[in-house]
Chains A and B, each alone.
Chain A
Amino acid sequence: MPQLQPDDPIKSRSYANVILIAFFVLLLCVSWSFYQEFIGLRPWRSYQTRFADSYSSYLKKQISAREAAEKTVTSSPDYQKLSAAVQQAEATAQPQDAAIEKQMALVDDQRAAILSAFQTDRSLVGSLIYDYEVIPNTPANRSEKESHLRALKKAEAQTYSIDWPEVGGKVVTRNMNYDQLNNEFNDLLNAKAQLTAKEGVIDTPVKGATDAMNTYLSDKLPGLTASQLRGLLRTIQGLTVSLIQINVNPPGKMINDIGGVGLTDRCQSCHVGMDPKYVPAAMTITKADLGLQNSKDAPFTSHPDQQLFTWHPLEKFGCSPCHGGNGRALDTVELAHGRYEHWLWPLYYPENYEAGCQTCHSADAWTRHAPVLNEAKMLYRDRGCIGCHNYTGFDDQGQKLEDTVREIATLEKERATDNQQIPLLNKQGDQAASNAEAQRLYAEATDLTVTVSKIDGQVQQLDQLSHSLQQEVKRVGPDLKEVRLKLHPEWIPYWLSHTWNFDPTAQMPQFRLEPDEVKAISAFIWQQGLKGPALDKQAPGDPAKGKDLFDSLGCLACHSIGEGSQKIGGDVADNLSREGEKANYDYIVRWIHNPRVRTAPYDPYLHRDLTPEDYAKKGLPFVFDLEHSRSPVDGHELVVQQQTIMPDFRLSWQESRDIASFLMTQKSASAHYDPVPWINDPKLFAQGRTLVEHYGCTGCHEITGLEDASRIGTDLTTEGSKPIGRFDFALLYTKAQEGILPDGQKDPRGSWYNLKGFFDQKLANPAVFDEGKYKPNPMDRLRMPKPNIDQQQLNALSSFLQGSQSSTLPPSYQYDPTDERKYIQEGWWIVTKYNCIGCHQIDIGQKTVLMGLPQYQGDNAINLPPVLTSEGARVNPEWLKQFLANPALSTTDTDRDGVRQYLKVRMPTFFLSNDEIRKLVLFFGALSSQQQPFIPEKLAPLTPQEREVARDIFTSPAAPCLKCHMTGNPAHDKNATAPSFLLAGQRLRAPWTERWITEPATIIPGTAMPSGLFVRQGDRWVFNGPLPAAAKNYTGDEANLLVRYLFELTPQEQAALSGRTPSAPKPGGHSSAMLKNSSASSRRGLSR
């Protein structure tokens, strides 16, 4: 090294300090990266530690509380008694137990004594047998085979000396050969098994007493026991901080396969409380439980609906498939929840949680545990969204019908050509040059004849199909062909421009219309209306009677009445508070009498309404209904009914007039309508028609000339998967990204440039994305009208749309059952379509509209329609088919309910198609887990003796059956509250009936049917009341006997017995159980 030159700028300059500083900075960076690696980018570590701490202290508190409670219970006299019983039983069993133990010990010793010799001998003999068997059985090998056989025999005969222990501790020596050892060993095994069984029998009372003690404890103190809680505490204290990950790949897929990966979900790494390992389903924890109620950063609560895990096991589904979010991300809350621009499936906000259900349950009309989604799907239909926006799975009968009609037309064309061809070929055959040629041509003609008859068959089948479809096609709005018969013309423009002023709860959305557009549309609608045949003139009815009927028949399950806070009733049909202002009395009478009646039938092949002249030409009367549904012109199916879901209540003309008169009194005093002299101006017709087509009125209404118009809106089936760039935020683009709402407010959640933001704003005000746009022609504006929904309904619909995705999950995650759950899925579409749930409770916990009405509160709940939660188990499916087709159960006496004539509310006729009835019957069966196909139970016929006993039970004062159940005697039935027994045989199913008469409250809690009529004795039910001595000798099941009797009951028998029935229950004759159940306070919802 050359000598240092102090003034050499290169050599003398020291870099030590700079390098040192740089090195320290580098070291700092390295430490920083370590911090990020282990703490900064792993926030879940601290979450897990914090959870373990707070949950441990919570558990400790719970344990001490539980221990104190258990102590109180165990020291209670009841428990002491049970505990003493256990000890008593143990003491009784002890001597026998001890004897058995001793015998078992001896058996074990004996087995041990022979075991070694037995095993040795068995393996020796086994090997010799093998050696003998493998030698071929040929003369050449005979001697060898025989020598092996000798060796085998010798080994079998060889004896072993055994020190055999005997009772009393004595030991004897036994010499045993192979067979003896074998037999002895098997005998010992049998002896041991017998002793164990004996011990079990002796210990039965002990086990019973212990079970009773434990049951008592768990009844008094439900929830986890102290020892279970201690187990949890041990688990949580042993928690090692680590990544919790659910990783499901479909078979054959690697984790990084694009699109193939099932799921990688690490949510529980922070949300530790979700894991059943730490918080089992039997308990729930909230932030408050852990003392963290004020913390904004404590993701520790357990799942609020743990039942969902039964169907969606956590280890299969994880969290993000249902909730959205980026299940893999862990760095920050924002990334994990997917709340950033580039994650396409962000976590749903609480009001949209059920969007997650829709991603897999899109084929359901009704998903259990998803009330928001169910509401959304009802709204999607009832508010007419479906009128413009197709959605796969929703009512597609209209589409199917169109296809059928087209197919029939094609077939007919083909048939016409063939029919022309046949005579031509025959003629050619006649003139053919050669015989063979003639034969060929004739054969061809014959072929064509066969084809024609085949086509005939096909057309016939398609016609039948379209008959069914015609019954199923429904429209949300009323038929506008009948406006001239139904409405006052001056009401139409007012309604179009002030829809929600007239009816604040209207289903119809508010369209954005200019005054001249309103005029044109009104004029067009008026002018396209049918002018006749004229309606029958109706005499006035009695409004007071009409009001009674209106309130009690069940109209309010769909319709509402009253305005503002006075409003009661359902939302799937009109509010009738101002009906009198708009409608013609004569029309409304006809409508109430049977809403399905049309003024003229529509022929979808001729594309026009048929007139009386069309019928007259064929010499037919102008009659068209479901029995006369073929066109006299072309022979195909007509539209013979109104396409409304409103059913026929089978009322008399007088009753219809009463109700209509009542509705005519429903007017607002201040109502004022401008005259409409222009309504018949033909110049407005063309413009009106263009506008009606433009705004898609035909989606909901039947309009002359536009019956086949298609839907004008976007298909929304996978709207939630559309890339955000396809949504036109227009001038709100920047505002949305900056989180400024259209009203200028700041969105507390930040940017709303996402699907939720678009759906929410669009539903709240569809015109919002037009704001500030230059659109001088009103028809250039966005067409979507404003739906009449409140904030909650908006959230429901928005959830529905957000969940409408082409799912990224594997198909196996989709809910697409193929077993009887499919029937349930199909049935709900019909149940919700006709609003059955407005009257009937079908899903457990589901509320009906009627339940909320004032006239059914308190004791009056007895007047509600029946609960159908166990309908499939209750009734015979064949009977149910008849009932659904004709709820009057009679073709002559129709002004009644077939089963419950004592109820004022009435099951109406829905004119369901055969297919719908079939689906509904299967639905009820599947809902009650009934076997398919249905096999009727065979009941043994009664012997004369049995009949006598049954009569005694039936008429016993302890079971006054005929007091509440209908008999057919009008004087009696006035006060009846349960159906007639005469229907039982064909209507009910025996197993259900037996359970019903023994334990009705377990089927329908709170029913008026008394419990305790029978008591359990051994394996049979015995009547719980006084019986004549002769009947007491009956040894069979008396509940079963009564069921068999009821199923055989004839009107004559019932009439003969009615004299024997006490008119009022005598308190003295009742068991105490009966008294409790028949007391007035608990008489609710009889036979519901």
Chain B
Amino acid sequence: MWGDWHQLWVIISTPDNIPIVAMLGLVPFFTWFAFHNMLANDRLIAQLEADPQLARTHHRTTYPYNSRWERELHTNPFLMRKELLAAIIITIILMVWALTLNAPLEEPANASVTMNPAKAPWYFLGLQEMLEYFDPWIAGVVVPTLIIVGLMAIPFIDANPLGNGYYTYKQRRHAVWTFLIGFEALWLVLVCIGTFIRGPGFMWFWPTQTWDPDRVEFNVNRNLDQVFHIDGSWLAHILPASWQGSAAIIARGLFGIIPMVVYGVVAALFIHWICTRTEYSRKIYRKMSLLQTVTMYILLITMLFVPVTIFLRLVFRIKYIWETPWFSI
């Protein structure tokens, strides 16, 4: 049933979902704010690069040069008062929140009853959403591990000496876009889908669609090999007799390697193209060791694989690209 605004209101007003509703406004705001400052700084950088004399005397990053101003300012009170203000405002927000909304507690857990929908806490909804698209082994173990390892590896991969401690886009184009795609476009969008779109049975409900637990959905997913009718019948002719029973499995496993390799190559070329597009990035690229480069490429290829899979699943109903008896991708 469509046009159920009451349903939408129920989802939005659930105390559980307050952080995510707030995020819908806060994330765009801070993204805008960051870009605003980045661009302002980039303009200053351009100005200073054009005027080496000014660069030598300029002492504040965000204001135009004024000779009568002091070169340095004390933390107290000029920074502290801002922090005090921020602390007060945050305290007010937390207090109002605590006073108006009760903790979203539910009934005592009952081992024999599963709640429907059964959702992870909001900050894990992205991971839960990934389970929809990947093998649990991939979504629950491999990807989270890669995320953590990848985040830890960033300082070691980063060969760019500039852009630390101030807003800049020009000097950090690569990092900014990785963050925008990896965190905002992927992680946060998955969280939002998990919160607002996934209803009973973890089915896909568009906003204003009623969350009916009895809904029945026609949703058949196929593996890529099924699209291409890979059944191993031709392979059976060439395999030894004792292997014939596994012909279909072997055929599928072998077939799956092809698209994976194709994707890997295409994605690597794409990333390479981006990394060597401008003079500046070529400079950084040349500074990177082989280990650094390979690590970064692997991480980025994996990251880009997530939206590709989601796209294949949602649009072409393709479940796995590569199916093996041990894992499926």
Which B residues between 134 and 158 are near A, CB-CB below 8 angstroms?
none
Which A residues between 1 and 46 are near B, CB-CB below 8 angstroms?
2, 5, 7-11, 15, 18-19, 22-23, 25-26, 29-30, 32-33, 36
Task: Note all chain B residues with C-beta closer than 8 A to A725.
Answer: 113, 116
In the complex formed, the residue of B with least CB distance to A13 is B78
Q: Is the CB of B106 within 8 A of A342?
A: yes
Which B residues between 245 and 282 are near A, CB-CB below 8 angstroms?
none
The verdict on A258 contacting chain B, using a C-beta distance below 8 Å, is: yes
Residues A22 and B214 in contact in the complex (CB < 8 Å), given A10-B78, A258-B108, A723-B113: no
Which A residues between 700 and 736 are near B, CB-CB below 8 angstroms?
723, 725-726, 730-731, 733-734
Q: Is the CB of B81 within 8 A of A734?
A: no
Q: Is the CB of A731 within 8 A of B85?
A: no
Q: Is the CB of A26 within 8 A of B91?
A: yes
In the complex formed, the residue of B with least CB distance to A22 is B88
In the complex formed, the residue of A with least CB distance to B104 is A342
The verdict on B244 contacting chain A, using a C-beta distance below 8 Å, is: no
Per-residue 0/1 for B71-96: is the Cβ within 8 Å of any A Cβ (1 yes, 0 no)? 00100001001101100110110011
Task: Note all chain B residues with C-beta closer than 8 A to A342.
Answer: 105-107
Q: Is the CB of B85 within 8 A of A33?
A: no
- Report how far A416 CA is from B106 CA in the complex, Å: 62
- Tell me the smallest distance from the CB of A39 to a CB of chain B, in Å: 13
Q: Is the CB of B110 within 8 A of A19?
A: no
The verdict on A982 contacting chain B, using a C-beta distance below 8 Å, is: no
Q: Is the CB of A9 within 8 A of B85?
A: no
Residues of B within 8 A of A (CB): 6, 63, 66, 68-70, 73, 78, 81-82, 84-85, 88-89, 91-92, 95-96, 99, 105-108, 110, 112-113, 116, 210, 212-214
In the complex formed, the residue of B with least CB distance to A30 is B95
Q: Is the CB of B82 within 8 A of A15?
A: yes
The verdict on A934 contacting chain B, using a C-beta distance below 8 Å, is: no
Q: Give which listed residue, B69, B92, B105, B214, contacts A25 with CB less than 8 A.
A: B92
Residues A19 and B107 in contact in the complex (CB < 8 Å), given A9-B63, A26-B92: no
Task: Note all chain A residues with C-beta closer than 8 A to B212.
Answer: 733-734
The verdict on A344 contacting chain B, using a C-beta distance below 8 Å, is: yes
Q: Give which listed residue, A18, A29, A730, contacts B85 with CB less than 8 A.
A: A18
Q: Is the CB of B73 within 8 A of A29?
A: no
Task: Note all chain A residues with C-beta closer than 8 A to B99.
Answer: 29, 32-33, 36
Q: Is the CB of B85 within 8 A of A19?
A: yes
Q: Is the CB of A5 within 8 A of B68?
A: yes
Residues A11 and B84 in contact in the complex (CB < 8 Å), given A22-B92, A33-B95, A725-B113: no
Task: Note all chain B residues with C-beta closer than 8 A to A130.
Answer: none
Further contacts, 16 of them, CB under 8 A, given A18-B85, A29-B92, A733-B212: A8-B70, A11-B73, A15-B81, A19-B84, A25-B88, A26-B88, A26-B91, A29-B96, A30-B95, A33-B99, A342-B106, A344-B107, A726-B113, A731-B214, A733-B214, A734-B212
The verdict on A673 contacting chain B, using a C-beta distance below 8 Å, is: no
Residues A15 and B113 in contact in the complex (CB < 8 Å), given A29-B99, A733-B214: no
6 A-B pairs closest in CB distance:
A29-B95, A22-B88, A723-B113, A342-B107, A342-B106, A8-B69
Task: Note all chain A residues with C-beta closer than 8 A to B82.
Answer: 15
- Report how far A738 CA is from B212 CA in the complex, Å: 13
Q: Is the CB of B73 within 8 A of A734?
A: no
The verdict on A349 contacting chain B, using a C-beta distance below 8 Å, is: no
Task: Note all chain A residues with C-beta closer than 8 A to B214.
Answer: 730-731, 733
- Tell me the smallest distance from the CB of A258 to a CB of chain B, in Å: 7
Which A residues between 847 and 871 are near B, CB-CB below 8 angstroms?
none
- Report how far A946 CA is from B63 CA in the complex, Å: 130
A-B contact pairs, 18 of them (CB 8 A): A8-B68, A11-B73, A11-B78, A15-B82, A15-B85, A19-B88, A26-B95, A29-B91, A30-B95, A32-B95, A36-B99, A342-B107, A344-B107, A723-B110, A725-B116, A726-B113, A731-B214, A738-B6
- Report how far A8 CA is from B214 CA in the complex, Å: 66
The verdict on A1034 contacting chain B, using a C-beta distance below 8 Å, is: no
Task: Note all chain A residues with C-beta closer than 8 A to B73.
Answer: 10-11
Residues of A within 8 A of B (CB): 2, 5, 7-11, 15, 18-19, 22-23, 25-26, 29-30, 32-33, 36, 258, 342-344, 723, 725-726, 730-731, 733-734, 738
Task: Note all chain B residues with C-beta closer than 8 A to A32.
Answer: 95, 99
In the complex formed, the residue of A with least CB distance to B63 is A9
In the complex formed, the residue of A with least CB distance to B93 is A29
- Report how far A11 CA is from B81 CA in the complex, Å: 12
- Tell me the smallest distance from the CB of B230 to a CB of chain A, in Å: 38
Task: Note all chain A residues with C-beta closer than 8 A to B89.
Answer: 22
Task: Note all chain A residues with C-beta closer than 8 A to B84.
Answer: 19
- Report how far A25 CA is from B6 CA in the complex, Å: 33
At the interface, is chain A mostly helix, strand, loop or mixed? helix
At the interface, is chain B mostly helix, strand, loop or mixed? loop
Q: Is the CB of B107 within 8 A of A5?
A: no
Q: Is the CB of A734 within 8 A of B107?
A: no
In the complex formed, the residue of B with least CB distance to A725 is B113
Q: Is the CB of A5 within 8 A of B70?
A: yes
- Tell me the smallest distance from the CB of A1056 to a CB of chain B, in Å: 79
Q: Give which listed residue, B69, B70, B85, B112, contacts A22 with CB less than 8 A.
A: B85
Task: Note all chain A residues with C-beta closer than 8 A to B81.
Answer: 15, 19
Task: Note all chain A residues with C-beta closer than 8 A to B78.
Answer: 10-11
- Report how far A733 CA is from B4 CA in the complex, Å: 15
Task: Note all chain B residues with C-beta closer than 8 A to A2.
Answer: 70
- Report how far A5 CA is from B66 CA in the complex, Å: 11
- Report how far A25 CA is from B78 CA in the complex, Å: 22
Task: Note all chain A residues with C-beta closer than 8 A to B91.
Answer: 26, 29
In the complex formed, the residue of B with least CB distance to A773 is B214
- Report how far A568 CA is from B110 CA in the complex, Å: 50
In the complex formed, the residue of A with least CB distance to B94 is A29
Task: Note all chain B residues with C-beta closer than 8 A to A730.
Answer: 214
In the complex formed, the residue of A with least CB distance to B78 is A10
In the complex formed, the residue of A with least CB distance to B213 is A733
In the complex formed, the residue of B with least CB distance to A332 is B102
In the complex formed, the residue of A with least CB distance to B82 is A15
In the complex formed, the residue of A with least CB distance to B211 is A734
Residues A7 and B88 in contact in the complex (CB < 8 Å), given A19-B81, A723-B110: no
- Report how far A9 CA is from B210 CA in the complex, Å: 54
Task: Note all chain B residues with C-beta closer than 8 A to A738.
Answer: 6
Q: Give which listed residue, B88, B107, B112, B113, contacts A23 with CB less than 8 A.
A: B88
- Report how far A566 CA is from B91 CA in the complex, Å: 75
- Report how far A42 CA is from B70 CA in the complex, Å: 57
- Report how far A258 CA is from B110 CA in the complex, Å: 12
- Tell me the smallest distance from the CB of B140 to a CB of chain A, in Å: 26
Task: Note all chain B residues with C-beta closer than 8 A to A29.
Answer: 91-92, 95-96, 99
- Report how far A237 CA is from B210 CA in the complex, Å: 56
- Report how far A315 CA is from B72 CA in the complex, Å: 72
Task: Note all chain B residues with C-beta closer than 8 A to A258.
Answer: 108
- Report how far A22 CA is from B91 CA in the complex, Å: 10
Q: Give which listed residue, B66, B106, B108, B116, contacts A7 with CB less than 8 A.
A: B66
- Tell me the smallest distance from the CB of A629 to a CB of chain B, in Å: 46
Task: Note all chain A residues with C-beta closer than 8 A to B95.
Answer: 26, 29-30, 32-33
- Report how far A494 CA is from B41 CA in the complex, Å: 92
In the complex formed, the residue of B with least CB distance to A259 is B108
- Report how far A25 CA is from B210 CA in the complex, Å: 40
Task: Note all chain A residues with C-beta closer than 8 A to B70.
Answer: 2, 5, 8, 11
- Report how far A725 CA is from B114 CA in the complex, Å: 9
- Report how far A731 CA is from B81 CA in the complex, Å: 59
- Report how far A36 CA is from B99 CA in the complex, Å: 8
Task: Note all chain B residues with C-beta closer than 8 A to A344.
Answer: 107-108
- Report how far A33 CA is from B95 CA in the complex, Å: 8
Task: Note all chain A residues with C-beta closer than 8 A to B210.
Answer: 734
- Tell me the smallest distance from the CB of B26 to a CB of chain A, in Å: 19
Max count, chain B CB within 10 A of own CB: residue among A9, A10, A258: A10
- Tell me the smallest distance from the CB of B60 to a CB of chain A, in Å: 8
- Report how far A187 CA is from B91 CA in the complex, Å: 83
- Tell me the smallest distance from the CB of B193 to a CB of chain A, in Å: 23
Task: Note all chain B residues with C-beta closer than 8 A to A5.
Answer: 68-70
- Report how far A32 CA is from B107 CA in the complex, Å: 29
- Report how far A2 CA is from B74 CA in the complex, Å: 10
